């Protein structure tokens, strides 16, 4: 039977989500646990996340023998055995043609920043920004909505023939002492969100302007080679 798994994980504990030779990944860890309970299967992730990218509701599907009909029991067994940096949130039985990657309609990412000084327990999970101009960032992030060629917003050396993407929605808001950049699109280029956030923070610091962002999005002028902001990126939700 085809099962859909919703999982969360701490990305700092792995070299990304997708299986890689001689590196500990989320997929490797899950396959190891399946094998320990005599399940040989292939995992299909909704998409890859890189090292240090966390997930609150990543999705994968795989074929599981029919005798595992008690999905709550299966969830409990896996959560007891799996690396504590991974948690199975939910398991659902789905149609045989469900594909975690190709059936996905939208992917939601969040990037977290704060003005509070960091400590050893949260430095991997959020980025410190001394001053936040909330209104400026609310206006600037809206510029990403639409269809653009993001050739200047993906990792150098990452080969993508097609760099056009459509971003359906963006938001910047505050929740308690945390500021959230939220992006919703069907797919993204490698490091695209980190580079977009880097540009937005350069606008926040008055090093760049919203006009500079418009120029770079329209390929009129590459205003800034944006830094890759490191900590605070989360795959938040997959919409089907």
What pLDDT, on the 0 to 100 scale, is given for residue 160?
Answer: 60
For range 158-179, the mean pLDDT: 90
Domain assignment present for residue 101? The answer is: no
Strand, helix or coil for residue 8: strand
- Residues annotated catalytic, as ranges: 50
> What is the domain extent for residue 137?
109-239
Whether 229 and 121 share a structural domain: yes
- Residue that finishes a domain, picked among 37, 59, 93: 93
What pLDDT, on the 0 to 100 scale, is given for residue 159?
Answer: 59
- 158 has pLDDT over 60: no
- Residue that finishes a domain, picked among 61, 93, 125: 93
Distance, in Å, from the CA atom of 102 to the CA atom of 205, rounded to the nearest integer, reads 39
**Phi and psi at residue 50, in whole multiples of 5°?**
-85, 175
- 122 has pLDDT over 60: yes
Can you spell out the DSSP letters for 93-162?
A: E--TT--TTTT--EEEEEEEEESSPP-TTTTTT-EE-S---HHHHHHHHGGG-EEEE-TTSS-TT---S-
Whether 80 and 118 share a structural domain: no
Whether 136 and 205 share a structural domain: yes
Whether 66 and 122 share a structural domain: no
Give the confidence band of 182 by pLDDT, cuts at 50, 70, 90: very high
Token pair 């050893």: residue: 120
Percent of the chain surpassing pLDDT 90: 88
For range 153-180, the mean pLDDT: 88
- 226 has pLDDT over 70: no
Distance, in Å, from the CA atom of 154 to the CA atom of 184, rounded to the nearest integer, reads 17
Number of domains forming the structure of the chain: 2
Whether 202 and 141 share a structural domain: yes
Whether 89 and 140 share a structural domain: no
What pLDDT, on the 0 to 100 scale, is given for residue 154?
Answer: 86
Give the confidence band of 193 by pLDDT, cuts at 50, 70, 90: very high
Give the confidence band of 22 by pLDDT, cuts at 50, 70, 90: confident
Whether 131 and 191 share a structural domain: yes
CATH number at residue 64: 3.30.70.580
Distance, in Å, from the CA atom of 138 to the CA atom of 107, rounded to the nearest integer, reads 20
Give the confidence band of 45 by pLDDT, cuts at 50, 70, 90: very high
What pLDDT, on the 0 to 100 scale, is given for residue 197?
Answer: 96
- Residue that finishes a domain, picked among 59, 93, 127: 93
Q: Tell me the per-residue pLDDT of 47-77, one tens digit each, with 9 for 90 and over.
A: 999 999 999 999 999 999 999 999 999 999 9
Q: Tell me the per-residue pLDDT of 84-103, one tens digit each, with 9 for 90 and over.
A: 999 999 999 999 999 999 99
What pLDDT, on the 0 to 100 scale, is given for residue 220?
Answer: 84
To 5 degrees, how large is the angle CA 168–CA 91–CA 65? 125
Strand, helix or coil for residue 50: coil
For range 213-219, the mean pLDDT: 93
- 15 has pLDDT over 80: yes
Domain assignment present for residue 157? The answer is: yes
């Amino acid at each position: 039977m085809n099962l859909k798994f919703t999982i969360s994980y701490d990305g700092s504990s792995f070299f990304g989500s997708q299986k890689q030779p001689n590196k500990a990944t989320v997929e490797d860890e899950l396959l190891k646990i399946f094998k320990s309970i005599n399940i040989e299967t292939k995992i299909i992730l909704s998409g890859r996340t890189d090292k240090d990218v966390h997930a609150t509701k990543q999705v994968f599907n795989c074929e599981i023998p029919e005798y595992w009909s008690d999905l709550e029991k299966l969830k409990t067994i896996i959560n007891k055995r799996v690396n504590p940096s991974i948690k199975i949130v939910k398991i659902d039985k789905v149609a045989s043609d469900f594909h975690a990657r190709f059936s996905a309609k939208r992917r939601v990412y969040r990037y977290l920043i704060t003005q509070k000084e960091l400590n050893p327990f949260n430095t991997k999970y959020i980025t410190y920004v001394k001053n936040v101009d909330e209104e400026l960032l609310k206006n600037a992030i809206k510029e990403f909505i639409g269809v653009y060629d993001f050739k200047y917003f993906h990792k150098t050396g990452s080969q993508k023939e097609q760099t056009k993407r459509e971003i359906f929605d963006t938001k910047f808001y505050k929740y308690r002492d945390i500021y959230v950049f939220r992006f919703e699109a069907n797919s993204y280029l490698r490091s695209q969100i980190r580079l977009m956030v880097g540009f937005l923070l350069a606008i926040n610091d008055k090093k760049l302007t919203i006009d500079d962002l418009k120029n770079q999005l329209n390929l009129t002028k590459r205003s800034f080679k944006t830094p890759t902001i490191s900590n605070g990126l989360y795959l938040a939700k997959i919409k089907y």
